[in-house]
Structure 1
Amino acid sequence: VREPEFQGQTKDKLATPEAAKIVETTLRDHFEHYLTSAPADADKLLGWVIDRAEERVKRRQEKEVSRKSAVRKLRLPGKLADCSQNSSEGAELFIVEGDSAGGSAKQGRNRKNQAILPLRGKILNVANATQAKMQQSQQIADLVLALGCGMGASYDEARLRYEKIIIMTDADVDGAHIAALLVTFFHEQMPELIRQGHLYIAVPPLYRLAQGAKTFYARDDEHREELLKTEFRANAKVDISRFKGLGEMLPAQLKETTMLPGKRTLLQVHIPDEESKATEKAVKDLMGNKPELRFKFIQENAAFAGEDLLDI
């Protein structure tokens, strides 16, 4: 065969069209004669061919079923990094702000039982939003889809996909606002989720304190000062760094301080029955559409700076 063509990198199969024609012409007549003269062998060969064909059809059908199942699974939000376990018992969903923090959380999580859902920006304030606005919110749609339990009158506790829902935001004013908006959403649209004890708020560290091989993390200024007095030598320098956000933390740091059971600090959102009415009023006043009520709350509860702290 002149200028032969071979198939693939291993060159283990001749792919020249002319060669195929030569082989077919040479073998076809002899093979047909053999099958005619040996009907028993022909029946065995035919049975083998039919079995292989049925296997191919079966595999194709199984692939199609598998693909359809995968499509159904992909109805979960695209940004959700789900956990591998199938049961909700012990499963945790971390709701984080932004893709940066989401990336660190995804690397630091326990893939078996910890899922990560990054949210871009601030979620809709449902306390003063119409039903139409809520239906148009992609963030709310993603969150409800990830939880799997529906919301409002359609809420079904049995369909909740996680045992713990953990709000994990930056330790700053914006992070606190995002956490407040999320708690408001759950309070207004999934109150039973709170009553059953599923909602938590993670407490990430604000400071990292290091002295030689010794490292501690502080939740706030008061905790930082306490650690400086109790855990470090007074005559040696302590390196103090302040985290600007969760996205600035290394995955290992985020895991150790905020995600690892036994080392992390979680605040469970719990509303006693006797405080339910007062809580409803507080949510309405602070998150509702009447700014004068928020202004009144600030006037009554703000800690104003004295003249000695002002540079006048």
Structure 2
Amino acid sequence: MEYNQVTAQPETMYGADDLTHLEGLDAVRKRPGMYIGSTDSRGVGHLVNEILDNSTDEGVAGHATHIEVTLHADGSVQVDDDGRGIPTDTHAKSGMSGVELVLTRLHAGGKFGGSGYKTSGGLHGVGASAVNALSRRFDVTVKRSGKVHEMSFQHGVPGVFGGDGPKARFTRESGLRVARRMKRGESTGTTIRYWYDTRYFETGAALDTEAVRTKLRNTAFLVPGVTYVLRDLTGDEPTEEKFHFPDGVTDMVDFLAPAGDKPVSGILLVTGEGTYRENAADANGVMQSNVERRAEIEIAFRWGTGYERTVECFTNTIRNLHGGTHRKGFERAALRALTEAIRNTRGLLKPKEDLPTLDDVLEGMTAVIHVRLPEPQFTSQTKDELSTAGITRVVQSLVEQHLKAWVDDRRTKTEARTVLQKIVDAARVRLTQKQQKDAARRKTALEGAAMPAKLVDCRSTGVGRSELFIVEGDSALGTARMARSSEYQALLPIRGKILNVQKASLQQVLDNTECSAIVQVLGAGSGRTFDLGSMRYGRILIMADADVDGSHIRTLLITLFAKYMRPVIEAGRLYAAMPPLHKIVTKGRSPETIYTYTQPEMTNTVARLEKAGKQIVTPIPRFKGLGEMDADELWETTMNPATRAVRRITLDDVDAAERVLELLMGEKVEPRKNWLIESANRVDQETIDA
């Protein structure tokens, strides 16, 4: 009792009235990220996926053959399918129509083990109702049973809009309306159009058209019986793209294989079914043990001459960004079957030579893993990772059988031998590079390690605080040397523009003086053997002039890191310094110094100061390069962690980043030329520094 008197708060400070019970769709609006993954642009894109996945489930079930996504100029998104249509009859328990039930109630739908779907991407009965809850207006049209039914919602509340768009007058009204009878030959289906509410998302969040295009393309690969159409009405001219791939996942492997990566093998296609057991609830919600499940497996893969690997995983057509138990089964099977084949094939391994690892087996592989199973389990609502345990054994068994047959088949034995030799060679290269790295493990400059003569190292030996500035030119190096804090800031100058590594081989990169100096100074290797834990510095900052040439140098350096030292970007340890363009100084007893980074910012700042009655020293100096600043200016604006502005280089969407790098920096000139011509009208000519 004495303990309670001393430490506990009075009971009156916390009672039942302090508890909040969120009912219906209020929970979605209160915590949208919990239901759609995030409230940035990815969350906006996830809204499209939730509606699209429901239409795709109709296609997988064999009831839809045509699905369209329309991006309207007013920001709304429309999804049409020619499936069966959402049920329009009255649900006995709730008294609602099937349409209103699935669009206004969480965890309602036909995907909880009933007879509506054998497998589905929508599982939790949350997706469509969550989109409805986060929309200013949500219209649904269902063609079914000879009638065209319509219903509208505002933030999940059913009613009627008095005109077009979300700003029209809204009147609450429950119930599904019959608009007309279906015409002869008119197909059944569902149309949903929604206007999402920007208030539930971060400032600047917007729908990424390229992400929608990628989603439609991927799904078309996985559902070869359905044609997908993307209609974009947001630009000056409407565009329309169709996606239909009759060969399914084999077409997808060809599409995903890196450009210029010559195949070492043909595409191996593994298809089949298997059973597994798990605990699951029956129709009455009672948990049953050892329930038998049946899964369908569809996997295609091949090896190429390169060393990059691409493994894409899907469950019921939903992309699993982080893989999961199906990928684990595939990797176990590949490692086990192929290392056994290598061990049993005479002449591949030398005496006492170690067997290859999984990384060696996957080197140069492009693979698509697609499984279909009832009621799969995921680690989150966004389904980024499959966690159904039993699927691992099913996938492993099928893939292992297929690989063993492929190795032993007389028709494919030569091809298999070529792949096995590639895997053994990859293992030897890995071990050789590891030995070289161990022999040349990083020593600090104080310990006498041989580093490039132009490196101006720092005194700190730890990575927690240390920074490496990659500086453009020797003139900027001189100023930076005087400006830096020598305790934790190191400098590495580069001369001009480095090699465009997107067009070069690894050997050309290592032979290039500037590129090899960067790799050597970081001390963590390159390519597949890059070891982030061995990096000598905590942060890498690219410090180039604030002009076109400086921007090009930044791009070339970012390309180098993205291709050969990607973990630096993934760990958020690569930055671009932002030197200012102008220095504005006011007159008077207490002069004020302001640095600006763009022409509009300088103009606005001058206007603001003059409006406040302050006089400005003219002409306003413009820095044409880092070398034009004195040490104090460079320290204050670009190098001092307390006052500088830097941009972190990120890699949120690997696929999009790869496409941009290949477009802007790759060998093919024609796509780059076309992009420049098509994008010319986006340039503000007044901002060009001629």
Q: Deviations over 1:37-72 (max 9, x none)?
A: xxxxxxxxxxxxxxxxxxxxxxxxxxxxxxx99796
Hey, what does 2:615 align to over in structure 1?
236
Question: Cα–Cα, structure 1 residues 260 and 135, in superposed 2: closer, same or farther, change >3 Å?
Answer: same
**Aligned runs of 1:257-272 on 2, under 5 Å?**
257-272=637-652
Question: Cα–Cα, structure 1 residues 69 and 302, in superposed 2: closer, same or farther, change >3 Å?
Answer: closer
Q: CA deviation at 1:74?
A: 4.4
Partner amino acid, structure 2, of 1:224: M
Matching residue within 648, 672, 679 for 1:294:
672
Q: Which runs of 4+ in 1 moved over 3 A?
A: 68-72, 231-235, 303-309
Question: Cα–Cα, structure 1 residues 305 and 74, in superposed 2: closer, same or farther, change >3 Å?
Answer: closer
Q: CA deviation at 1:278?
A: 1.0
Q: CA deviation at 1:122?
A: 0.7
User: In the aligned structure 2, how far is the partner of 1:84 from the partner of 1:307?
Assistant: 46
Q: TM-score, normalised by structure 1?
A: 0.72
Point out where structure 2 has 5 or more consecutive residues left out of the alignment: 1-442
Matching residue within 620, 624, 629 for 1:249:
629
Instruction: State the SS of the aligned residue for 1:81.
Output: coil
Q: CA deviation at 1:243?
A: 0.6
**Residues 1:227 and 2:602 aligned together:** no
Partner amino acid, structure 1, of 2:677: Q
Partner amino acid, structure 1, of 2:582: Y
User: In the aligned structure 2, how far is the partner of 1:252 from the partner of 1:157?
Assistant: 33
Question: Cα–Cα, structure 1 residues 150 and 307, in superposed 2: closer, same or farther, change >3 Å?
Answer: closer
User: In the aligned structure 2, how far is the partner of 1:192 from the partner of 1:105?
Assistant: 27
Q: Deviations over 1:96-116 (max 9, x none)?
A: 110000111111001111111
Matching residue within 412, 435, 453 for 1:78:
453
User: In the aligned structure 2, how far is the partner of 1:96 from the partner of 1:164?
Assistant: 14
Aligned length: 240
Instruction: State the SS of the aligned residue for 2:540.
Output: strand
Q: Percent sequence identity over matched residues?
A: 39
Point out where structure 1 has 5 or more consecutive residues left out of the alignment: 1-67
Hey, what does 1:198 align to over in structure 2?
573
Question: Cα–Cα, structure 1 residues 190 and 69, in superposed 2: closer, same or farther, change >3 Å?
Answer: closer
Hey, what does 1:148 align to over in structure 2?
523
Higher strand share: 2
Hey, what does 1:209 align to over in structure 2?
584
Q: TM-score, normalised by structure 2?
A: 0.33
User: In the aligned structure 2, how far is the partner of 1:244 from the partner of 1:184?
Assistant: 25
User: In the aligned structure 1, how far is the partner of 2:624 from the partner of 2:638?
Assistant: 15
Instruction: State the SS of the aligned residue for 2:575.
Output: strand
Output the aligned Cα RMSD. 2.4
Q: Deviations over 1:242-295 (max 9, x none)?
A: 1110011101100000011121111001111xx210110110111001111111
Hey, what does 1:187 align to over in structure 2?
562
Higher helix share: 1
Q: Deviations over 1:161-219 (max 9, x none)?
A: 11110001000000000000000000000111110111000110001111222211110
Q: CA deviation at 1:305?
A: 7.3
For the Cα contact (< 8 Å) 2:562–2:569, is it kept in 1?
yes
Instruction: State the SS of the aligned residue for 2:465.
Output: coil
Question: Cα–Cα, structure 1 residues 231 and 83, in superposed 2: closer, same or farther, change >3 Å?
Answer: farther
User: In the aligned structure 2, how far is the partner of 1:207 from the partner of 1:189?
Assistant: 35
Q: CA deviation at 1:302?
A: 2.4
User: In the aligned structure 1, how far is the partner of 2:647 from the partner of 2:663?
Assistant: 23
User: In the aligned structure 2, how far is the partner of 1:98 from the partner of 1:163?
Assistant: 23
Q: Deviations over 1:18-45 (max 9, x none)?
A: xxxxxxxxxxxxxxxxxxxxxxxxxxxx
Hey, what does 1:283 align to over in structure 2?
661
Bigger radius of gyration among the two: 1
User: In the aligned structure 1, how far is the partner of 2:487 from the partner of 2:586?
Assistant: 35
Q: CA deviation at 1:229?
A: 2.6
User: In the aligned structure 2, how far is the partner of 1:139 from the partner of 1:74?
Assistant: 19
**Aligned runs of 1:9-158 on 2, under 5 Å?**
73-158=448-533
Partner amino acid, structure 1, of 2:531: D
User: In the aligned structure 1, how far is the partner of 2:633 from the partner of 2:621?
Assistant: 13
Higher relative contact order (CA 8 A, sep 6+): 1
For the Cα contact (< 8 Å) 2:445–2:457, is it kept in 1?
no
Partner amino acid, structure 1, of 2:667: N
